[in-house]
Amino acid sequence: LPRPPRERLSPMCTLKNFPNAIEHTIQWARDQFEGVFAKSAENCQKYITEPKFLEKQRSGGALLAILEGLKKDLGVDKPTNFEDCVKWARLLFEQNFHNVIAQLLYNFPADQKTSSGALFWSGPKRCPAPINFDINNDEHVNFVVAAANLRAYNFCIPSNRDRDFIRECVSRVSVPTFTPRSGVKIAVTEAEAEAQNNHEDDDVGTADKILNELNSN
């Protein structure tokens, strides 16, 4: 049977920074799920079981991103119990739905205009708003419950769907106040996104530093 036509992917900068259709948000969520809960666990497993795993990645241009994930998952973010998974999930919510958007609006304020005098946030660009986590909002808690249990599964930690317990754990999480940083580059076009990726892939010094930290543990 002939294969179905390959689905056309949306530009990276649109998915990450300027989604304007439900298809964009669905694809973004699928990419997030794949990267956070599937690919990261696969990389950890291969790093532990395959001695030459990282050597294979160096030529593929993905070494830095893989090492940064390994540093977090096998180091500073490695959970030892379910409460650690809840903390991780709560901070993931903050990063995805508040901090990233706050940084985007810092770079491109709601009233910013282009060189031609048109509003930057117009046409397909829809101005976003950061979400403040609300422990009484079921959708917010649903995210933490799901993310925490997926995280626990990846690290062979028993699951827990007791929402009262999870709310109690969330209430104890210290969430750092986010301050937007100057100098952060956010791609507006696909060409800028590709250029940023190429620059990151060439950052061998950072990759070597992380690799040395992993080897010392």
Catalytic annotation present for 13: yes
CA-to-CA distance for 66 and 80, rounded, in angstroms? 22
CA angle 96, 101, 104 (to 5 degrees): 130
- Which SS3 state, helix, strand or coil, does residue 117 take? coil
Which residues are paired to 119 by β-bridges? 113
Catalytic annotation, pick one of 13, 44, 85, 169:
13
- Which SS3 state, helix, strand or coil, does residue 113 take? strand
CA-to-CA distance for 9 and 19, rounded, in angstroms? 13
CA-to-CA distance for 123 and 55, rounded, in angstroms? 45
Half-sphere exposure for 144 (CA within 13 Å, toward CB):
32
Amino acid letter, 126:
R
Q: Which residues are catalytic?
A: 13
